[in-house]
Chain A
Amino acid sequence: MILKLENDKNYGRGVWFGGRFLYWRRLFSRSLIAVSSWRRRADKILDLLVLFFTVSGWLALIFWVFTQREILLSSPLKILLFWENRDPLVLIFLLSAWFDLFLLYRRSQKENIKKRIDLNYWRDGAKNKQAYYNVALALSRELEIILEKSFLLAAKLKQTEVSIMHIFRIMLSDVEIQNVFIRLGISADALLAKIERHLLGTEAKNRRPNFSENSVSVLIEACVDAISRRQESIRPLHVLAFCYKYDKVLAEILYDLEIDADKINNTCEWLHINQRLVASYRAYRRSAGLKPGNSMDRAYTAVATPTLNHFSHDLTMAAKYGNLELCVGRKDEINSIFEIMGSGQAGVLLVGASGTGKTMVINGIAQLMVEERVPKFLQDKRLVEIDVSRLVSGASAADAEERLLTCINETARAGNIILHIANIENLVGISSGGDGSLDLSEVLAESLSRKSVFCLATVNSDNYNRVLEKTALGEAMTTVGIKEPSFNQAIQMLESKVAWLENKYKIFITYNAIEQAVLLSSKYLHDKYLPDKAITLLQNAVILSTKNQSGNADQLVCAKEQVAEAISEMTGIPAQKLTESESQKLLSLENNIHQRMVGQEEAVSAVASSLRRARAELKDAKRPIASFLFLGPTGVGKTELAKTVSQVYFGDENYMVRLDMSEYQYADSVRKMIGDVDGTLGYLTEAVRKKPFSLILLDEIEKAHPDILNLFLQLLDDGRLTDGQGRTISFTESIIIATSNIGAIYIQEQIKVNTDINIIKQELIDNQLNKFMRPELINRFDGIIVFKPLTEENIFQITTLMLKGIKKRLADKGINLKADRKGVMKLAKAGYDPKFGARPLRRLLQDKIEDGIANKMLAGELKRRDTIVIDAKANISVDKGREL
């Protein structure tokens, strides 16, 4: 809700809400605060005195009973006439009894003091009642004390205003607020130090402080929040959420500690949710006691339903005994179901992807039915789930149909039953044979259209479209869409589960873990839906942390690292890569790449800066991380760069899916690429479905059939492909690199005459590439990168790099390798071919060095601790190591 604060000429800053003007008026002074704190102390002393007298009175009575035990044992009823015995102990009890009565008085007063907000006043609307409301009257006692202390703090620092920062500083010592920051994983000391530094830096003038305009705005908004949440008073928790909004400096301080508005709001919401859960659970248990514990309604008008009972289970009964999970945040969906049923529709179909919470909505309805907080036509009814698998198991189609008919008849006769069928699509297609016979779904559809039974059913959205939509059953029912919750909604749904998880596994779950669970699951688990996938992930993380930290059982914590670990276990994505700050990785990208790759400075820096750009601009979430087209002659390092990017960015070369496009030259290759309806899995789609976090290398893209190129048109633009089975595969976590040899000779010629690389690139795009690819495809790549032919210097470096590789392999066998610089130079010269780049070099090293070493090894000339020497003529010899 967005409130617009305005200034009233009589009441000052305030806001119109619910037909009333909320304003702030309260006088603070040191003396008033001293008096009210004196008053609080006096109240406390009074309470203690009353308690003392009450307890001593009862002790006196018990002692008296003890002294009189023999008489009382012979006739126990005499205890009722204890006051007739003249005894100082009895007198003490009688006198203290006045304090007992006084205690009742004090208690009721305290209850009344807690209720600062009159909810009836706010429920009625503005008619005939005072239209101006002073927010100061709605403060809880804790908040009152906090504000008094903030005033004293500002006065002590001789500042003119009681700012939000003062209030926030004092609030940090409130237990509830401390809980918020503990959940956020923030040390209160760090925060305190920063706030105090800021407060001391504020200008001081020796005047009595007033509450600043922003503080007043915060208090007024907090009041509106408390009223909309139907709370009894404004508590510090309500204030906290708005401090962030009105104080920019505070927002900056919190931002430095990685806390943003969403985090604060969601954590405050978490505490509200927990309080609401406890309160509603108590109310729920009270009313659940009144729900009949058998299949009868309260008036005994229902009919016994033996067959139905056999093939079903009673959800209202499960809810009555607390066996269903509490449903959070599904008010809108439940209300629309009630509306549809209220308008006379007999069947409601909940349609949503699996994991979005259809079952939770049904549970929520069962719980509301137990509490009888439902429209009249649902009151005193049972919600019964038909178990379809049980209905059809061990029976022929005809038997199953008869069973279903009996169930429906019993339901219709009983009159107090609402049916629930989960995954109703299972009823479609079961038919007793013969051309004219109905199938199970049609049997149900008929009774629904006669309105003889009410039915709530759920179906997966895919199955709805595929199986149900055009059938009689689909038409007999009204659909209600259950959508995947938004990011913040999902976080709040998870928060409602945390208390249960924490209790079950005796673990502390931080806010960041919850946020990470929602974030990572929505990023990397594409086939599943929120909130279910986030719940599963969090649960796995909790189990992981209990396993890993079993040593010190009283300090079990599940933080975001555990969630990252859990997702890496579920998907194979290396966990540390997700949590390590990506910026660091990106900033040193060039260096990291050059550790493996020689030369091609322009290409490397183009790729690196393109990757950085893609990330820093908060890349369009609907496109791949980055896409490149590498152009250049063979053997200059195009594939090598792709491999290096995969290793540097994803942590391993294995995160690369390599497709040789020469294998996809025909129109029917599309099937090979994305699969088909018959169930053949597509090579590309299946690889990415299993490993969404990967680099896709399309080698020699110009050789692919134009139809395949059209697929990539969509892929580069939308970041997704639909495979043969109709599943949407997301490519948003992939890097796509296509290579091509087009214009290789042109590049070599132009480099020789020192043409600028950008001119070469433009020429390639304008006159060479367009012969093989459509301009729109060329345009969709994030970068087109031209690789230069290798120089002799490059080849020398590559030779050194390759020899290092051989040296490493030899080191595993305990053998050393030394190479003379001249020898390396000679190898480089021999392996250099301007036409084929570095490729002949690899062959040369194989022939000359590796084969030689292998022969020596087999001949037994080479043992552990020996050293291979490559001399100036590039010949190899062996230096014998010392004998042991």
Chain B
Amino acid sequence: MVKHHFLISFPQAILSFLGNILFFPLWWYSLGFIMFARWVFNFWQGEQKSLGFYVWLKNLFVPMYGQRDFSGRLISFFMRLVQIFFRGIILIFWLLVGLALMLFWLALPLLLIIATAFQLTAI
């Protein structure tokens, strides 16, 4: 009984160990990419929160500093537009950076292969 277990479980363990190593390339383009994409998204979300972009957008027509008279409302509307514009630009910048990073993740193994091949052809 005990021997029987060992005969089954030992090869199983070896297989799972090797399988674990071989799963790596697949992981890079599946679970790994999802994990990285999630990280990029969280980072961008954090930026969004610290800029308060949605808060500015939601309050576009709400007067700033409690100035509820007509001129107050008018000035704060334009003030908010300016704020939203600049904050939007920063947000788009971070979005692009994030997308570039994700592309880099996907391309990295290929780049490594190309660079290694380039090095090897010389030798």
Interface contact B5-A302, CB-CB below 8 Å = no
In the assembled complex, B70 has its CB within 8 A of some CB on chain A: no
In the assembled complex, A198 has its CB within 8 A of some CB on chain B: no
Interface contact B119-A86, CB-CB below 8 Å = yes
In the assembled complex, B19 has its CB within 8 A of some CB on chain A: no
In the assembled complex, A126 has its CB within 8 A of some CB on chain B: no
Residues of B close to A34: CB separation below 8 A:
6
Interface contact A301-B66, CB-CB below 8 Å = yes
In the assembled complex, B27 has its CB within 8 A of some CB on chain A: yes
Interface contact B17-A84, CB-CB below 8 Å = no
Interface contact B119-A83, CB-CB below 8 Å = yes
**Closest chain A residue to B76, Cβ basis:** A300
Complex CA–CA separation, A98 to B56 (angstroms): 44
Least Cβ–Cβ distance between A753 and chain B, in angstroms: 91
Q: Within the complex, which residue of B3, B13, B112, B118 is in contact with A38, where a contact is CB–CB below 8 Å?
A: B13
Least Cβ–Cβ distance between A408 and chain B, in angstroms: 16
**Closest chain B residue to A34, Cβ basis:** B6
Complex CA–CA separation, A97 to B119 (angstroms): 14
**Closest chain B residue to A287, Cβ basis:** B49
Complex CA–CA separation, A46 to B24 (angstroms): 14
Interface contact A303-B27, CB-CB below 8 Å = no
Considering only residues 95-147 of chain A, those with a C-beta below 8 Å from chain B are 95, 97-98, 101-102, 104-105, 108-109
Interface contact A102-B24, CB-CB below 8 Å = yes
- Known contacts A36-B13, A86-B122, A86-B123; decide if A290 and B35 are in contact (CB<8 Å): no
Interface contact B112-A301, CB-CB below 8 Å = no
**Closest chain B residue to A27, Cβ basis:** B5
Complex CA–CA separation, A39 to B19 (angstroms): 13
Interface contact B119-A91, CB-CB below 8 Å = yes
In the assembled complex, A310 has its CB within 8 A of some CB on chain B: no
Q: Within the complex, which residue of B6, B24, B50 is in contact with A289, where a contact is CB–CB below 8 Å?
A: B50
Least Cβ–Cβ distance between B54 and chain A, in angstroms: 10
Complex CA–CA separation, A38 to B17 (angstroms): 11
Residues of A close to B6: CB separation below 8 A:
31-32, 34-35
In the assembled complex, A298 has its CB within 8 A of some CB on chain B: yes
Interface contact B66-A302, CB-CB below 8 Å = yes
**Closest chain A residue to B119, Cβ basis:** A91
Considering only residues 12-67 of chain B, those with a C-beta below 8 Å from chain A are 12-13, 16-17, 20-21, 24, 27-28, 31-32, 35, 49-50, 52, 55-56, 58-59, 62-66
- Known contacts A31-B5, A299-B55, A299-B56; decide if A94 and B65 are in contact (CB<8 Å): no
Interface contact A290-B116, CB-CB below 8 Å = no
Least Cβ–Cβ distance between B103 and chain A, in angstroms: 16
**Closest chain B residue to A415, Cβ basis:** B66
Residues of A close to B116: CB separation below 8 A:
91, 94-95
Residues of B close to A95: CB separation below 8 A:
116
Residues of A close to B28: CB separation below 8 A:
101, 105
**Closest chain A residue to B17, Cβ basis:** A42
**Closest chain B residue to A380, Cβ basis:** B55
Interface contact B65-A304, CB-CB below 8 Å = yes
Interface contact B120-A414, CB-CB below 8 Å = no
Least Cβ–Cβ distance between B76 and chain A, in angstroms: 8
Residues of B close to A97: CB separation below 8 A:
112
In the assembled complex, A780 has its CB within 8 A of some CB on chain B: no
- Known contacts A83-B115, A101-B108, A299-B59; decide if A290 and B50 are in contact (CB<8 Å): yes
- Known contacts A98-B112, A101-B109; decide if A301 and B13 are in contact (CB<8 Å): no
Residues of A close to B56: CB separation below 8 A:
299
Least Cβ–Cβ distance between B41 and chain A, in angstroms: 16
**Closest chain A residue to B6, Cβ basis:** A31
Residues of B close to A88: CB separation below 8 A:
123
Least Cβ–Cβ distance between A41 and chain B, in angstroms: 11
- Known contacts A105-B24, A301-B59, A304-B65; decide if A90 and B119 are in contact (CB<8 Å): yes
Q: Within the complex, which residue of A39, A90, A101, A298 is in contact with B17, where a contact is CB–CB below 8 Å?
A: A39
Give residues in A with beta carbon < 8 Å to B.
29-32, 34-36, 38-39, 42-43, 46, 83-84, 86-88, 90-91, 94-95, 97-98, 101-102, 104-105, 108-109, 289-290, 298-304, 380, 413-415
6 A-B pairs with CB atoms under 8 Å apart are A32-B9, A42-B17, A87-B119, A97-B112, A298-B55, A302-B66
Other than the given A30-B2, A105-B32, 8 more pairs (CB < 8 A) read A88-B123, A91-B119, A91-B120, A108-B27, A299-B56, A299-B58, A300-B59, A301-B65
